[in-house]
Chain A
Amino acid sequence: RKEVEQDPGPFNVPEGATVAFNCTYSNSASQSFFWYRQDCRKEPKLLMSVYSSGNEDGRFTAQLNRASQYISLLIRDSKLSDSATYLCVVNKNDYKLSFGAGTTVTVRA
């Protein structure tokens, strides 16, 4: 079983729509969780950390479900610029992270 699993998508949505997707992780001892955004042929960039109580950053909302070991990301009012691959990242220990293969989102005009 992979340490972090994501639905690869693609999720094709119109501008203004809401899109949501999850990732699951296998290590119940994981303590830190992140969503990174990666544009085509570019480096990953931190989108947001995910906290136990859930957190919001503008149009983006992240949730953590420790009991079921999954993390979700919801994007409201999608913009064309939100088109990217979203990487789910979970820590293995203090210095090592596990990366999902990514979920591709395409927002169309």
Chain B
Amino acid sequence: DGGITQSPKYLFRKEGQNVTLSCEQNLNHDAMYWYRQDPGQGLRLIYYSQIVNDFQKGDIAEGYSVSREKKESFPLTVTSAQKNPTAFYLCASSSPGQGETQYFGPGTRLLVL
């Protein structure tokens, strides 16, 4: 089955710790995205990547970092510089042939201990 997987489902971070969220897709999509969702707010774009080895900052990139070494993978690191990391993190991907339609993974909930 084609799809997007994210792991872990829940992640706990201690103060001052960097944590990495995994996102993998086997849809052969070129573009991948990371969003953050907070209660009562729309999804906000953290980073996106249109192609391997290239990525751009979204609207709220401070305190986050990404890499895109493989087409299938787009991991997100939440660094200790992100002071309010508790949120629901969603990874998405899209293909130019399907317009801007983005498909989402199941998400990772990050909580700060």
Chain A residues within CB distance 8 Å of chain B: 2, 4, 8, 32, 34, 41-46, 49, 87, 91, 94-102
Is A101 a contact partner of B99 (Cβ separation < 8 A)? no
Residues of B in contact (CB 8 Å), total 24
Q: In the complex the two chains form, what is the Cα distance from A29 to B14 in whole Å?
A: 43
Q: In the complex the two chains form, what is the Cα distance from A43 to B107 in whole Å?
A: 6
Within 8 Å CB of A49, what residues of B? 99, 101
Instruction: Tally inter-chain residue pairs, CB-CB below 8 A.
Output: 48
Within 8 Å CB of B42, what residues of A? 2, 4, 87, 98-102
Contact of B107 among A42, A97, A101 (CB under 8 A): A42
Contact of A97 among B41, B100, B106 (CB under 8 A): B100
B53-65 CB contact bits vs A (8 Å, 1 = yes)? Answer: 0000010000000
Within 8 Å CB of A32, what residues of B? 99-100
Q: In the complex the two chains form, what is the Cα distance from A101 to B100 in whole Å?
A: 19
Is B40 a contact partner of A44 (Cβ separation < 8 A)? no
Q: What is the minimal beta-carbon distance from B111 to any residue of chain A, in angstroms? A: 13
Contact of B50 among A34, A91, A95, A102 (CB under 8 A): A95
Chain B residues within CB distance 8 Å of chain A: 31, 35, 40-45, 48, 50, 58, 88, 90, 94, 99-107, 109
Within 8 Å CB of A98, what residues of B? 42
Given contacts A96-B58, A101-B42, A102-B42, contact A44 B90 (CB under 8 A): yes
Is B101 a contact partner of A95 (Cβ separation < 8 A)? no
Q: What is the minimal beta-carbon distance from B66 to any residue of chain A, in angstroms? A: 15
Contact of A44 among B43, B48, B58, B99 (CB under 8 A): B43
Within 8 Å CB of A8, what residues of B? 40
Within 8 Å CB of A94, what residues of B? 100
Within 8 Å CB of B35, what residues of A? 99
